[in-house]
Copies of this chain bind each other. A is one copy, B any other.
Amino acid sequence: MAGMSDVAKRAGVSIATVSRVLNNSESVNEATRMKILKVIKELKYQPSRVAKRLRSKRVSSNLLGVLIPDIQNPFYVDVLRGIEDIAYKNNYAIIMCNYGQDEKKEIMYLDILQSEAIDGLVAAPVSENDQRLKNIVKNGFPVVCVDRGLAGIDVDIVWVNNEEGAFAAVSHLVKSNYKRIAYISGLPSIPSSKMREAGYRRALKPNNLFDPALIRWGDSSYESGVNLCAELLDLPNPPDALFTGNNLITLGALETIHKRGKLIPAEIAIVGFDDMFWSSSLNPPLTAVRQPAYEIGKRAGELLIQRISDPLRPCIQMTLNAELMIRSSC
């Protein structure tokens, strides 16, 4: 691979000049610029991003980190797509880290990201009290949080109004005259689980429908959806409707429901948090709270790139609206 010195030699200039035309900085004679560009093409020269990164911490090195809890969750896939589109447009590459809700793995990835000298990071932290990430933010490193915030720290966040979303979903269930509405939650350590629970309770309150026996805490996984749904259906006095705390849980609950041959919505209604692009392909089409995941990713990406270029701008908390997509599952 040809380096900058090869280009310089062949063009009869110094590497400094080559660097200058590459970064079209300062003044360089039009004729030499042309010649250098020609040589670059001839040699198929490609600047080393690594060297660039090593040398200049104050100049964008065009690498972004993304740290997410679960790549298997379609929500994060869409967030990732959003970030990636923005990154691509701005000539950034992405180093993706999937920590699978495992704090050890998260810490290791955080270390790696730092040591890769990335320009900035979009992260959905393992919890509100993620000490490691907090420190990184405190050190003034550009970070944007998605889906989950960081307690007691000022940081850019893009998320959704979880409580309102849950409230809308459960209210719709109430209006449709369901009486025993269960909630299968994700990990209690994740702030959004709590907020969704709050919305659930608030919607149930006026009609006095709340029953603590109908609430189940899991680990945000497909399996927990399968199992907790079974538990609920096995209750002596089972629910007539289900509010599921995320994507994966919904899908898991559906497996159990179908396996038992229960009819939706006649025997059990269901509304899920998190829409999926194929929700209409389910039978019956699923009613769900739509988080604009792609949009979240896009906004987060934009915010991050802004912060990189202006580290001092005040933090923004961006709350997008969750929208209830009413289909036929309740």
Contacts from A to B (Cβ < 8 Å): 1, 46-51, 53-54, 63, 71-72, 74, 77-78, 80-81, 84, 88, 93-98, 105, 108-109, 111-117, 222, 251-252, 254-255, 258-259, 264, 277-278, 280-285
B residues near A264, Cβ cutoff 8 Å: 283
Residues of B within 8 A of A255 (CB): 278, 280-281
Assembly CA distance A309 to B155 (angstroms): 42
Do A251 and B281 touch (CB < 8 A)? yes
Q: Beyond A46-B115, A50-B53, A71-B77: 6 further Cβ-contacts under 8 Å? A: A46-B114, A49-B112, A50-B117, A72-B81, A258-B280, A258-B284
Top 8 closest pairs, chain A to chain B, by CB = A254-B281, A283-B283, A96-B96, A251-B278, A255-B281, A49-B115, A95-B95, A251-B281
When chains A and B are docked, how far (Å) is the Cα of A222 from the Cα of B81?
Answer: 16
Residues of B within 8 A of A94 (CB): 95-97
Instruction: Say whether A115 contacts B47, CB under 8 Å.
Output: yes
- Identify A54's interface contact among B47, B50, B113, B254, CB under 8 A: B50
Can you list 27 A-B contacts (CB < 8 A)? A48-B54, A49-B117, A50-B53, A50-B115, A50-B117, A51-B54, A63-B116, A71-B77, A71-B81, A72-B277, A74-B74, A84-B98, A94-B96, A95-B96, A222-B278, A254-B282, A254-B283, A255-B280, A258-B280, A258-B282, A258-B283, A258-B284, A259-B280, A281-B282, A282-B283, A283-B283, A283-B284
* Residues in chain B near residue A113, CB distance under 8 A: 93
For A254, what are the chain B residues with a Cβ–Cβ distance below 8 Å?
278, 281-283
A74 proximity list for chain B (CB < 8 A): 74
Q: Which residues of B contact A117 (CB under 8 A)?
A: 48-50
Closest to A222 in B: B277
Return the chain B residue nearest A254 by Cβ: B281
**A interface secondary structure, majority:** helix
Q: Which residue of B lies closest to A278 (CB)?
A: B251
Residues of B within 8 A of A277 (CB): 72, 222, 251
**Taking CB as reference atom, which chain B residue is nearest A277?**
B222
A111 to B77, CA, bound (A): 24
Chain B residues in 8 Å Cβ range of A53: 50
A92 to B71, CA, bound (A): 17
**In the bound complex, CA of A109 to CA of B96 (Å):** 14
Q: By the criterion CB–CB under 8 Å, are B258 and A116 in contact? A: no
Q: Which residues of B contact A259 (CB under 8 A)?
A: 280
Shortest Cβ gap from A63 to chain B (Å): 8
**Closest residue on chain B to residue A327 by CB atoms:** B258
Separation in Å of the A282 CB from the closest CB of chain B? 6
Contacts of A222 in B (CB 8 A): 277-278
Residues B50 and A116 in contact, CB atoms below 8 Å apart = yes
Cβ-defined partner of A109 (8 Å) among B50, B93, B258: B93
A84 to B102, CA, bound (A): 14
A51 and B61 alpha carbons, distance in the complex (Å):
14
* CB-CB under 8 A for A105 and B88, given A95-B95, A251-B281, A281-B252: yes
Contact A258–B278 (Cβ < 8 Å): no
